[in-house]
Amino acid sequence: MSYKFSIGLALMAIQVRVLNLSWLVAFGTTFCIYLASGGWRFIRLLWLTFPRDFRFIFTLAKAYRPVIKAVKNNWTVCDIFHETAKKHKEKVAFMFEGKLWTFHEVEMFSNKVANYFQSIGYKKGDVVALFMENRPELVFFWLGLAKIGVISALVNYNLRKESLAHCISIVNAKGLIFSCDSSISDAVVDISSNLNGIELFEFGLSGNANGLKSQNILEKIMLCSKNPPALTHEKSCYDVLLYIYTSGTTGLPKASIIRHFRFLKGIYAFQCFMNFSTNDVIYCVLPLYHSSAGILGVGSVFTGASTLVVRRKFSASRFWEECIQYKATGVLYIGELCRYLLAQPPKEIEKKHSLRFMMGNGLRPQIWNELKSRCNVPYIFEFYAATESNASAVNIEGRPGAIGYYPVTFPQILPMRIFKMDPVSGELLRGSNGLCIPCNPGETGQIAGLIKPRDRSRRFDGYVNKQATQKKIARDVLKKGDQWFLSGDTIYWDELGYLFFHDRMGDTFRWRGENVSTTEVEGAILKALGPKCVVVYGVEIPGCEGRAGMAAIEDPDDVVDVIILRKKLSDVLPTYARPIFLRITSSVDTTGTFKFQKGKLRKEGFDLSVIQDKLFYFDLQLGEYCALTKEIYRKFLNGEMQV
């Protein structure tokens, strides 16, 4: 767009200097030439999108003010919470199962945590893994540890065995805090042989769990001072605050690096977009180890003095009842959650709440308007972001189905682009000049974010594993020497720049709000069945968000026992990662270079009309894999099956 502007100025200058026209006449002549050459499209787009884009830029600029102030004063997340707690001592910060914590109580609890770990030698740069069910104390622990520079690794409480051991080992954890809930402590017992050299701290009132050599952390911290810990390290707003795990689109979970600056940048932006205030009560059923709840939900408390209601698990039947009970003004969602709500029988209570917004991602366009009208939701705020990504988008206009928008008339404003890609390999397509090819409106491609190492707001911190970080970076994209973060997500954008999520690439798919690693699931099946060809991929079920897991297993001798397979997978995989469908085949198709044809398998899905192999589905009521019949297949297509 800048080159067109330059040409226009040059034409005007020529008319003024050579033809002796006035600047006004020269402008009018140039404008007419511009319109005649097709410039009307630009004017039309500017007319339709400028108000939207201006509001977005103005809000973003407003959000950056507190971030700049925090950087200037070298404030960390701990400093921000300390100031908020001083202003709102007796206000309720967190609610959980009938218990209330004021800002002052959270500050005192976290100080005790900091003082205890400082007293036993923990220092800046050490790592403590937190493994507990959804409860506010998870936040109190990482806040306290952050006060002495210790990094907290937020481990998914659904993980078991190899996956759990992997997450703890890759961050070189010095300590592990786990809750006394039997499902949690049993999982720790299962991997105890992998925890040599790691100090174990049990959180709860039951004492040592299952004979583990653990210390009761609650007893220890209660004996410590509630005063702020002594500052023995040089703190910086660019220090690492948390490790939040993500699949990174391929392989086992990776530990994404979250710095204080990144936490504050994200939450201040959303605070401006959503106008979080001290009057807001946010109902949160999402896991606190995820960035949506762990950063946006918790951040609304830290910076906006809102109240966060934490629920252990999501309940569709009690959702609206509890929104009314807690006088919630906001809800954090994932698309799957909304589908479960609409699957409930309509009832009057759905419209008696006090919500002013629902905020999240993954809401399907097909149910967007139904959710708004049926449940009387004034404002749905959909956004796109990944834990480790430097590319994000927000839909502050409430456009149904859109995850955000891109300023089509001035694309330089946002340092992200959508690039054409090979639909089979997923590789970015390059032109004759060796550079990548941006998508035009109406096309689908991979979204990527420009990396500027010297610009803290555009850096890609990546993962603890540096090799994994490098795999996510593309070079020489728009010009020689540039670097871009590859999201692994394909996005469609329309003429007005609205973005719509299309699919997830790589060796993962998203199901029940979680990223499922096909590599991890394939490994679990191979361990259960022995050496066989196994391919795991995600398939679409009509009416469901994300993709359900499906495994194609090569079994020419017909010896696979799906009952035994189910039992073994239940021991090692969380529920969301276990395949919903099994395809038992005599051979798995490969390409000429012996690569599995995942694209073909995904396209065929679980369609009985095109698949001749034996198909099984997981029956939730029976808890077993059962043969997929035409009647069951019809129910899946009509959205009548519970998955």
Buried b (16+ CB within 10 A) or exposed e, 282-310: bbbbbbbbbbbbbbbbbbbbbbbbbbbbb
Neighbours of 612 (CB within 10 A): 8
How far apart are the C-alpha atoms of 63 and 347, rounded to whole Å? 39
- In sign, the C-alpha dihedral spanning 157, 162, 163, 164 is positive
Pairing mode, if any, of strands 548-554 and 581-585?
parallel
Neighbours of 597 (CB within 10 A): 16
Residue 525 near residue 565 (C-beta atoms within 8 A)? yes
**How remote is the C-alpha of 617 from its chain's centroid?**
28
How far apart are the C-alpha atoms of 265 and 64, rounded to whole Å? 7
- pLDDT score of 8: 67
How far apart are the C-alpha atoms of 264 and 391, rounded to whole Å? 16
SS3 262: helix
- pLDDT score of 388: 85
Q: Please list, in sequence order, all residues whose beta carbon lies within 8 angstroms of the beta carbon of residue 87, skipping any fewer than 6 positions away.
A: 305
How far apart are the C-alpha atoms of 171 and 257, rounded to whole Å? 10
Give the helix/strand (H/E) hosting 94. Answer: strand 92-96
Consecutive 10-residue averages of pLDDT for the chain (643 residues): 64 73 75 64 77 85 90 96 96 96 98 97 97 96 98 93 92 95 90 92 70 87 94 93 77 88 92 87 95 94 93 93 96 86 89 94 84 92 88 89 84 85 80 93 90 84 90 93 90 90 76 79 82 83 86 87 90 89 82 58 87 90 90 88 80
User: Which tokens belong to 175?
Assistant: 């300590």
DSSP code, position 295: I
List, in order of start, the domains of the chain with CATH numbers.
Answer: 1-37 (no CATH), 74-313 (3.40.50.980), 412-450+460-501 (2.30.38.10), 507-638 (3.30.300.30)
Neighbours of 89 (CB within 10 A): 12
- pLDDT score of 251: 57
Write out 529-593 in H/E/C secondary structure: HCCCCEEEEEECCCCCCCCEEEEEEECCCCCCCHHHHHHHHHHHCCHHHCCCEEEEECCCCECCC
